[in-house]
Structure formats: structure tokens, C-alpha cells
Amino acid sequence: MSSAPLLVVGRVVLPDHILERGAVLVDDGRITAVDRRSSLEQQLQQRQPQVGDGARPTVVDAGDGYILPGFVDIHVHGGLGADFMDGTAAAYETALRAHLRHGTTSLTPTTTVARHEQIVEVLKRTRQFMASGECGVGSGEQKASAHSPLPTHHSPLLPRVLGAHFYGPYFRYEARGAHPGQAIRPPVEREYAEYLDYADALATATIAPELPGAEEFAAACRRRGVRLNSGHSWCSFEQMRAAVGWGVRHVDHLYCAMSDKSRMRQFQSYPMQGGLLEATLYFDELTTEVIADGKHLSPDLLQLALKIKGPDRLALVTDCNRALDMPEGEYSIGPLDGGERLLHRDGVGLLPDGSALASSVNGMDHMLRVMLAGTGRPLWEIVRMATLTPARIIGHDHDLGSLEPGKRADVVVLDEKLHVKRVFVGGAEADLSLPR
């Protein structure tokens, strides 16, 4: 969708530094230039006699705030009372608008463990939103890749839907976390063949490597161009080594719902062996993600993950449930019919008995602030983990994730305390007010 020229001025956060007194020039939904404000204003003044007053850009001044690329969330379940697993256009629009208010301009709707027909419905809905970008209206369109452009018929009121994250039901039962246990099952071809009929609407698919049929599922995903994750698994280090050989390249929410050397001792008392945690940290081929909400992980665990994996192999995710921007109380993760009960309490999702965590209730702007405070790393490095790194993990870094000429003009303006003030999707400003 085209939009009027725009000049966003302030402290521009680039992948490897902050450009003070910088500016981002936007035209027709794309970034056309990034430079010091004085330099861009001089260029525009020199061009003005040729282009006329009608092409003069609107100026957005961030003052002492920051100008960032829009956040890219590759693990997110819902918000504002809606879960993508509800499967309706209204639920999608509500959840998308919820995360837009927190600076997310692109995301992968993430499924949960559920019945077969419920997952299929979510894949259908994801395909519709990818094609139309608004209200679930439209037909399927080829999935974006380095060789195919992102959908262009996109509503500026909603984040871009980049494809679903197929997440469950292929988990280990004991590692299910907050997911309902009844519908957990191993991959069977007659079932996942129907899921892969929606490969054009699948960004990634998660599998526990130790399940029977996991290798066959991984091969089927690779044939259809679907990226592979591992998670909710008690696999051994060697089983994960095999999964890397199958093509698994990403691991869901580091430290959470996964095996480690202590867990593996119940299967082999000596010598001690590593699990999914140790394998994730060891294999350079693997990227991973953290939920930096201040509740799931302590600062020392965030520091360790970042030290070992680095900002190019560690993404920030929200793993946010439907309780985002909702009052404390009882909610559910997954579909309303068959989902698992959870409590929104003390700034996080909890199992009803309070014994374990059950996903987060915060947006990506919160994750950015917590990761920055917990690690002490430069702001530009933490921003990269919420933008360019996740975009690269799912193959969209050619068009999203950084403020570079030619990329989509998805821009977030933060104040000096890193709270969201304004959001632009494709150069058009989004309405950040709560729906009535």
C-alpha cells in the first residue's frame, strides 16, 4: 500500500550503531534513504524545485527518542483476550492489533496443541491474512521468500502475517508445559500431509526429535520448504545432533520445556549426558530465542545465552498469550474449546495451581527493556535481537528487520525510556488506541 513521503528524525537505531541526529526517508511504503538529518534535509531542499511542494515529506520528530525497525515476533499466541487458535478473523485482528500497540509490525501466529481440525482452521486463516492483510478476506498467495515478495495488499492497521508457526501437537507429553495433554500425539503422515497442504502459510514447524516419526516429518517439511524447529522435548544431545542433520535449525524458548543434563540423569545415571539445552548452546547451526519478560528467566540466564549464541543467533520472542493488556484473572492458552486454563498474575501466565509458568503476558517492547537492563549490552544489539535476527531466522531479512534503503518502511518510534509512541507499517501510521 503506497503512502505519502515521510521523514522520521531522531536517534536512528541501525544494526551496529545508533545514528544520532539521524533521519529515515520513506516513500511509497519503502525506505529510500537513511542519513544524518542535516544531510537528508539538504538533499530534499535541492530536489524541491524539481518535484514541487506536493512531494514534500511529512516530518515526524522523535525528539530525544529512538527510531527503530518494527519488531518481528516469531513466537506469539495472542493478546487482548484473543488467541490465534480461536481461528476467527475477529480473533486474528484483535491479537494483531494488540501486538501492534507494542511495536510489532510482523509476526508468525503460533499454534498450540489442539485437535486436528482446529489446527487446520488456523492454517486456513493464516493463509487468508497473508493474502489480504486485513480481516481474513482473500485467497491464498505464494509464501514470501528471498525469491518471492511479501504480500502487498496489506492493511496499515495490522502487522504483517508472515506465516504460521506450527507449534504442537508434536511435543513430548512430559515436556508439554502449559499445553493441553490430551491432544499431544506423534507425527503421522496421513495427518501432517494435510497440514503441509498449507506449506505456503507455514513459516516454521516444531518437532520433538525423540518422537517416533520425527525424522519423516522433518523430511516432509524440508521437501515443502518449511523451516524446522525443535522444542517441548526431552531429547538427548545425540538425538539433537541427529535432528540438526535432518535440517532443524532453531530451538524454541531456550531453557523452557527442554531436557538438560539433570533431566537426562533419570534415563542414564552415568556418565552424565547432555540434553536439548546443551545441544542448543553447542551447535553453531542452531539459532534460539528467549522470553525476556523478567519472569521466565533471570538476568544471569539471559547473559549466558547472549554470551554463547550472540545477537545474530539469539532472538527475543514474546510467547505471549491472550492475557496481553488484560486485567489479572483466569484465561486459557489455545482454543476456547479445549485450551488449557491459566492465570494472569504477577505479570506472567501461570498454571492454575501456580506451580509453573504458562507463557508471557507482555509485548515485545517490554522484552526489549528487560533484556537491555538484564544484560547491559548496547541498545542497538538488543534491538537487533527483536528485529533483524528473527527476520533472518524465518527468511525475511531481505525485506524486513532493519532500517535500510529498499526495505519495507516498518518503523517504530520510542521515547527515551523505550516506550512505544508511534508505529508505521509500510510508511502508514497505525492507530494504537485500544479497540472499543
What CATH number has the domain spanning 1-69+403-436? 2.30.40.10
Handedness of CA 258, 209, 246, 199 (dihedral sign): negative
Position 133 scores a pLDDT of 55
CB 426 within 8 A of CB 372: no
Rounded to 10°, the helix 214-223/237-246 angle is 30
Q: At 282, is the secondary structure helix, strand, or coil?
A: helix
Q: Amino acid letter at 344?
A: H
Q: Could you confirm whether domain 71-400 is CATH 3.20.20.140? A: yes
Rounded to two decimals, the pTM is 0.94
User: How far is it, in rounded angstroms, from Cα 63 to Cα 61?
Assistant: 5
Residue 295 — φ and ψ, nearest 5°?
-115, -40
Which run of H or of E encompasses 40?
A: helix 37-51
Task: Mark the ranges of the chain whose per-residue pLDDT is less than 50.
Answer: 1, 134-156
**pLDDT tens digits along 216-263:** 999 999 999 999 999 999 999 999 999 999 999 999 999 999 999 999
Count of H-run helices and E-run strands, the chain: 12, 21
Position 145 scores a pLDDT of 38
Residues β-bridged to residue 22: 10, 36
CB 368 within 8 A of CB 316: yes
Q: Residues near 58 by Cβ (< 8 Å), separated by ≥ 6?
A: 4, 5, 6, 7
Q: Which of 421, 374, 393 is nearest to 68 (CA)?
A: 421
**pLDDT tens digits along 179-211:** 999 999 999 999 999 999 999 999 999 999 999
CB 371 within 8 A of CB 378: no
CB 335 within 8 A of CB 404: no
| Topology match between the domains 1-69+403-436 and 71-400 | no
Going from N- to C-terminal start, the domains of the chain cover 1-69+403-436, 71-400
Q: Amino acid letter at 175?
A: A
Q: At 92, is the secondary structure helix, strand, or coil?
A: helix
